[in-house]
Amino acid sequence: MTPRTKPPDAFSPGETPTFEVSARESLRDSQLRRNLGKATQTIRRKRAVAVEELPDWEELREAGRALKERTLRHLDTYLLQLEESVTRAGGVVHWARDADEANRIVAGIAKEKGADEVVKVKSIATDETKLNEHLESEGIHAFETDLAELIIQLAGENSSHILVPAIHKNRAEIRELFLRELDVEDLSDEPKDLTNAARLYLRKKFLNAKVGVSGANFAVAETGTISVVESEGNGRMCTTLPPVLVTLMGIEKIIPRWRDFEVFMQLLPRSSTAERMNPYTSFWTGVSGEAGDGPQEFHLVLLDNGRTDVLADEIGRQTLNCIRCSACLNVCPVYERTGGHAYNSVYPGPIGAILTPQLVGIGKPGPDSLPYASSLCGACYQVCPVKINIPEVLVHLRGRVVRHKQDGGTLRQRLDPENVAMQAMAKTFSDPKLYENAQGLARVGQWPFARGGKIGSLPGRLAGWTAVRDLKPVPKQSFREWWKEERG
């Protein structure tokens, strides 16, 4: 099989469509709607039960938040400490300013080993840098070994969920894909058989690969220990079988001490898969030495790629607390209906809506539309195990998007109808006289649209409202008019 390249997203060169445009397509996909609806409702319920079991859940969340916040405050110190501990344990640390630098480092290591194949354990950081595409361009095939990642890689698609990347596919589709791509003769659509086909295929890859590539859930500054938390055991294979292991991680994945795991290992599995403990948690510190299992050579690539910019934003920086549990996706009413592809980013859902525009920078139409892909209902904040106030960051980023447009200062931006309307309304609201006049005008201005005691259609952008809802006409007397009459 030839790994296909994924469609471009916010982290690829060029522009991506806005959320509104992409969502329209996803909303019409009936299979996606039912799969997602069912999956998110089930996991929501299970998560609530798993969390309910811990009487100190709120304290744990607070501890997780505080640990992350302190780490980020002293990130420079902890990163140097991590470099030192990893080096002491026999690993090599590389620093990558951006995606390109990170990709070149990984490709360089693979080429040096003469590898034309690498096995990968699911890592969103490498999706962010487009590592697979880069390796491909240097003649190196990257094989995803997580079942769902394998599926979407074979299909040449993007992941639609952080944890369940193939949530949008059903088993008939997966069976067809495997028959076509994996050289199997006969296959039922039973999950057991599908998994087995993937297992046989991947087993060969694991045993032959010279280089394994992973991401990281956590990296302990104090000891240099890296951790990957997973469900299938493919991560364990990737990080122990190949003689060379390369881990690419964002600089925010650091935790100060070994004992901090106590907090995060309670928060993460319950939030993500609603399990008390996930099936496989791998820890490794440097290289394995002479006798033991595991890699003889270990490289850690520390990736910035916009993260220090996020850190510089006082309100936005809490985004870096994220431990990628995906609880916010599962409770999000927008995500539940549009799915992940509408976000055009390797980071979908509420976390994607705040992380993507911050990482790629404000001023690009696609990512700029993401902070608006929310009704600000706050369900995400309520479940986030590290207490990221996602609605607050969404609102803050909307402000940055608007200020960027206004200060960009082109005439077109200033004459943007929304901007003009908002300026006019702000002026109206700042003066009770103007405001009262506007109330009167609203009453008069609606008559072209009112019919039979309701308004069934509005012009322009407001047509979105009346496409599915009637509008009640403005009543004859405002509250303040009544007050003046009765009490004035």
Partner 1 sequence: MRVALFITCFNDTLFPETGRATVEVLERLGHEVAFPEAQTCCGQMHFNTGYQREAIPLVRRFVEIFEPYDAVVAPSGSCVGMVRDLYPMAADLAEDPDLARRVDELAPKVFELSEFLAKRLGVTDVGAYYPHRVTYHPTCHSLRMLKVGEAPLELLRNVRGIDLVPLGEAEQCCGFGGTFAVKNAETSAAMLGDKIRRVLDTEAEVCAAGDNSCLMHIGGGLRRLQAGVETVHLAEILASGASEER
Residues in contact with ligand SF4 by the rule CB under 6 A: 271, 322-328, 351, 383-386, 388
Q: Of the candidates 323, 398, 363, 419, which has an alpha carbon nearest to the alpha carbon of residue 60?
A: 323
Strand, helix or coil at 396?
A: helix
CB of 472 to partner 1, least distance (A): 7
Contact between 471 and 454 under an 8 Å Cβ cutoff? The reply is yes
Q: CA of 103: how far to CAs of 126, 153, 170, 294, 357, in Å?
A: 8, 18, 33, 23, 21
Residues between 306 and 325 with contacts to partner 1, criterion CB under 8 A: 315
Shorter beta-carbon distance to partner 1: residue 290 or 407: 407
CB of 169 to partner 1, least distance (A): 21
Q: Select from ligand SF4, partner 1, none the partner in contact with residue 487, using the beta carbon and a kind-dependent cut-off of 5 to 8 Å.
A: partner 1
Sign of the C-alpha dihedral, residues 102, 147, 350, 346? Answer: positive
Q: Select from partner 1, ligand SF4, none the partner in contact with residue 454, using the beta carbon and a kind-dependent cut-off of 5 to 8 Å.
A: partner 1
> Which residues, 6+ apart, have CB-to-CB distance to 386 below 8 Å?
61, 64, 65, 68, 267, 321, 322, 323
451 binds partner 1 (CB under 8 A): no
Q: Of the candidates 367, 334, 340, which has an alpha carbon nearest to the alpha carbon of residue 160?
A: 340
Q: Select from ligand SF4, partner 1, none the partner in contact with residue 302, using the beta carbon and a kind-dependent cut-off of 5 to 8 Å.
A: none
Among 39, 337, 364, 450, binds partner 1 (CB under 8 A): 337
Q: Select from partner 1, ligand SF4, none the partner in contact with residue 174, using the beta carbon and a kind-dependent cut-off of 5 to 8 Å.
A: none
CB of 34 to partner 1, least distance (A): 12
CB of 455 to partner 1, least distance (A): 9
Shorter beta-carbon distance to ligand SF4: residue 209 or 393: 393
Q: Select from partner 1, ligand SF4, none the partner in contact with residue 333, using the beta carbon and a kind-dependent cut-off of 5 to 8 Å.
A: partner 1
Where on the phi/psi map is residue 302: left (φ > 0), alpha (ψ -120 to 50), or beta?
Answer: beta
Distance, in Å, from the CA atom of 245 to the CA atom of 267, rounded to the nearest integer, reads 27
38 binds partner 1 (CB under 8 A): no
450 binds partner 1 (CB under 8 A): no
Would you state the structure tokens that stand for residue 190, as one six-digit string? 């039973």
445 binds partner 1 (CB under 8 A): no
CB of 148 to partner 1, least distance (A): 25
Scan for tokens 């609203």, then name that residue.
442
Distance, in Å, from the CA atom of 460 to the CA atom of 445, rounded to the nearest integer, reads 15
CB of 253 to ligand SF4, least distance (A): 12
Amino acid at 256: P
Scanning 193-201, 202-210, 305-313, 461-469 for contacts with partner 1 by CB under 8 A, the matching segment is 461-469
Count Cβ atoms below 10 Å from residue 424 Cβ, excluding itself. Answer: 12
Among 124, 182, 402, 450, binds partner 1 (CB under 8 A): 402
Among 257, 432, 437, 451, binds partner 1 (CB under 8 A): 432
Distance, in Å, from the CA atom of 198 to the CA atom of 232, rounded to the nearest integer, reads 12
CB of 325 to ligand SF4, least distance (A): 4
20 binds partner 1 (CB under 8 A): yes
471 binds partner 1 (CB under 8 A): yes
Q: Select from partner 1, ligand SF4, none the partner in contact with residue 479, using the beta carbon and a kind-dependent cut-off of 5 to 8 Å.
A: partner 1
CB of 64 to partner 1, least distance (A): 19
Q: What is residue 5's DSSP assignment? A: P
Distance, in Å, from the CA atom of 336 to the CA atom of 357, rounded to the nearest integer, reads 21
3-state percent breakdown (helix, strand, coil) of the chain, nearest 5: 55, 10, 35
Scan for tokens 């936005």, then name that residue.
316
Scan for tokens 């850690």, then name that residue.
300
Q: How many CA atoms lie within 13 A of 444 on its CB side?
A: 6
Q: Which residues bind partner 1 (CB under 8 A)?
A: 19-20, 23-24, 27, 33, 315, 333-334, 337-338, 371-379, 381-382, 392, 395-396, 398-403, 418-419, 422-423, 425-426, 428-432, 435, 439, 442, 454, 456, 461-462, 464-465, 467-472, 474-475, 477-484, 487
